[in-house]
A and B are shown apart, each in its own frame.
Chain A
Amino acid sequence: MSGPYSAQQRRALNQVWNAAGVYGFSPLFLSLDAAGRPDLYLNTIVGCVRKWYGEEEPAALFQSWAGDRRQALLDDLAWLVLESAAYARELPARPLLAELRRVHAEAFFDQEQTLSRQEWMAKNQLSYTMQAARWRAVLGRRPPVMTPYEKRLSAALDLGGSENPFPAILETFSRFHLFTGKTKPPPALRLRLTGRLAGMMTRLMPTEIVHTDVVDLGRASGAGEGGGPAADPRRAVLRLKEDAADRQYIESCFGPSLLPDRELGLAEQALCSGIHLGCRLWYTAGVPRPERTKNQEARRMAEQALLQAERNRAAFSADAALYQNAILRLTERIQNCLHVHGQVETETARRGRLDPSRVWRAAVLGDQRVFQREEPSNRPGFAVDLLLDASASRLHCQETVAAQGYILAESLARCGVPVRVSGFCSLRGYTVLRVLKDFGGRSRGVFRYFASGWNRDGLALRAAGALLEGPPDRRRVLLVLTDASPSDSRRIPPGGEYPLGRDYDGAPAVKDAAREVRALERRGVRVGAVFMGPAANVPAAESIYGRNLARIRSMDQLAAAAGTLLQNEIQELEG
């Protein structure tokens, strides 16, 4: 298994790590009961297997029959062997293991009373018999009724504290005609549905929608061939109609603009220049309005966005304990940092350094508060903007990004740090900056996060910079979640550095994003980035964000990495 893990999976993982005495690896198996609770004994055994037999050999063993039609049965039987072997080796160092084993055996038979008919049917009979034999033996009961084959197999599955059980496992499986070394894959079931049936199944079954920008991509290739839209008056009419449709599309998907038309026009005039000429901006804090559009595609996307918000909330609720823990710990870290590096305020006191200008009050009024003392200020002198990449590259982890954004927003809010969370993406030539949680707003707004389209980082940073000019009047920290791979369907128009124009991606897009970061830094904004993306993009991330960069391997590390960046910023800003 690999992250991100749910709260209960994380707990199970901790049980494995604890027994292994090693942290950070992803075990091949985690044990959770039917209710989703971690099984302490089996997870301890998984950890002990890692401790006594290392990582590679067990992985190679399970890999040898991966994909075989009897894989589940072979896994179960192999674990029975490893259980007996690891148990025997660990017992002297962990005497309580005997009691845990007994409790686990009792729980195995207790569950017989609670299993439904379907669950019984799902169980493999041979695997069940072997387990029943093992756990009955642990409890000192008579073995279950078994065939001679099962009796021999059951005996062969108990290797005691073998130092190298792996060859014996393969030999046993071969001897009992369970696995001879060649995998037999199950016959694949593939259905190709079309028409109404396809539509019906799409509604019934889980689907993944990949947001693309087909209309804009088509138009972009046309622009590269000719002299641009303005060269053909007929094209201009078409463009006007397309613009209106695109605007309606964007509005229905992301909600109405934060800015009145005139102000939005002025912002576009000021910001959509240079290599962003012809691009449009959309600042919004609204919710998608599927009912506002007749366009089927736009309606479907807006509905998907609303559905994603529900999924984000549900995913957070399912693992609320884990996330609340993360919030508490991040809050504590930031709070400590603020305390230590906070500014000092001088206040009047009954003792301290004598304040000559107040001495008269002691003599005339009997007021003994004629001294000054220094007290640390609890009011942070900065505000944070968190800018989340909301392009389609984040489609696979939207719930995690939303949860991590919430953790960060809530932790900062609890520390009294004003925080705003926005998502950015580009669609149909519009770079959309969607404020999910404004300063003073509720952190739960972050759950409205969804991913779609492209990411024109340079323009998004420029647009975010314009937002930073507003209140509150404090030092500003901008933290960006990025994959350092800016790309947009809207091409760079001909002119300047690129006389023939070119696609907005690769080195020119990286250079553009880096330029915008430097421009923000010149304005006194502290810019940091949490990078998650392929190793090949690391140089690009470094060239855009310089030293203020934290790389994460899994999205569930976002809040912690942003917290670390923030601690560095606090030390430099306040300390």
Chain B
Amino acid sequence: MFRKYPASVRDRGVAAMLAFLEEEGIHPALLRDIQAFRDRHPLAEELRDRVPAPKFHYYGREVWENAAAALLRGKNLLLTGGKATGKNVLSENLAMAFGRPAWNVSFHVSVDAAALIGMDTFADGRVVFRPGPICQCAKFGGFGILDEINMARNEALAVLHSALDFRRCLDVSGYDRLPMEDGTRFIATMNYGYAGTRELNEALASRFVVLQMPAISPENLDRLLSRHFPALRKKPRQQLCQLFFELQAKCEAGEISTKALDLRGLLDALELMEAGIPAGAALDMGVTRKTFDRYEQDLIRDVMAARISPKLTRDQLFDR
């Protein structure tokens, strides 16, 4: 439920992140406001390893600007969009850009109020309160990343209402009322329409500003690949981008499940190719076998076979 980030990676990343935002063309006034936010909310030393150090940057100037403006104005963000639209990448990028510790809660049907706020437990023969991630967020002014919020029951989420609205406090039943530290923000993600997910009720949805995440554009995917794999040649890079969008079209048409529509998997496959695995085997490991149904695997391999030769080697894909 919680994720920690190594400090060395994080320190290198902060400067790179701010440079990236400038490069991305984010409005200078917003960049100044982000810096002012960071100055107003200095980070305690013991929380430094909780600031995310995401491996990937989120590409998309408009989304960046909208999200940053909302958080600067004290709003909580609800990021909605399909698979591989970068909801989690943006969440972590935002926490890093704002220099805040993050508590990442993956929602599922068993998440209840206790799992969010905290629960009673025994310690040394006494009943004591063990704070949950939302309490920690409130106390330390962190960014609470509420992943797949619509997988949880609305009843379980009702405990968040007072934290998310103008009251900005948590009333821990049987214990104290905990006011939110000023820097606290919540970023929820949801994949609306995913099989089995529920709709957020009005009371909860009204406490967020909603940002519809667009699918990654061909240009941005190309930038992502060239940034992470600078040695990757242009032609195979373009074909891999096309491959991703063809898989996306197949998912949207309902011919395959979303399991193979996995941007991380595609990047993993490229890492394997860089390590010397032939393209076919690498794509199999990174993408195709994410689904376990053989018929679906055949459909995915057909898309690949019409774009990328499975025999392509590292030398044919990457410059030395």
Contact = CB atoms under 8 A, between A and B. Distances in A.
Contact of B120 (A342, A352, A571, A575): A352
Interface residues of B, number: 40
Interface size class of A (residues with CB under 8 A): 35 or more
Given A18-B306, A332-B195, A353-B114, A340 B151 contact: yes
A390 B78 CA distance: 49
A315 interface: no
Interface of B: 109-110, 112, 114, 119-122, 127, 130, 151, 153, 194-198, 235, 239, 242, 246, 249-250, 252-253, 255, 257, 293-296, 298-299, 302-303, 305-309
Interface string A346-362: 00001111100000001
Contact of A333 (B114, B120, B195, B295): B195
Interface in A292-351: 321-322, 324-325, 328-329, 332-333, 335-342, 344, 350-351
Main secondary structure, interface of A, reads: helix
B215 to A, nearest CB: 15
A96 B119 contact: no
Interface string A365-397: 000100101111000000000000000000000
Given A11-B298, A11-B302, A376-B110, A18 B196 contact: no
Nearest to A375: B110
A14 B299 CA distance: 7
Contacts of A575: 198
Given A95-B235, A332-B195, A40 B302 contact: yes
B293 A376 contact: no
Given A11-B299, A23-B253, A96 B306 contact: yes
Nearest to B108: A339
Contacts of A328: 293
Contacts of A99: 309
A464 interface: no
Contacts, number: 118
A100 interface: yes
Nearest to B197: A340
A15 B44 CA distance: 56
A18 B246 contact: yes
Given A99-B309, A373-B112, A354 B120 contact: yes
A413 interface: no
A19 B122 contact: no
Nearest to A332: B195
Contacts of B306: 15, 18-19, 40, 44, 94, 96-97, 100
B298 A335 contact: no
Nearest to B112: A374
16 contacts: A14-B255, A23-B252, A23-B255, A40-B306, A95-B239, A96-B306, A321-B294, A325-B296, A332-B257, A336-B196, A339-B196, A344-B153, A371-B120, A373-B114, A374-B110, A571-B198
Contacts of B255: 14, 17, 23
Given A333-B196, A351-B119, A353-B114, A340 B109 contact: yes
B250 A368 contact: no
A562 B306 CA distance: 34
Contacts of A321: 294-295, 298
Given A40-B305, A351-B121, A340 B110 contact: no
Given A96-B239, A351-B119, A18 B114 contact: no
A93 B242 CA distance: 9
Contacts of B293: 324-325, 328-329
A15 B196 CA distance: 29
Given A18-B303, A351-B119, A340 B253 contact: no
A24 interface: yes
Nearest to A344: B153
A502 B117 CA distance: 69
B20 to A, nearest CB: 31
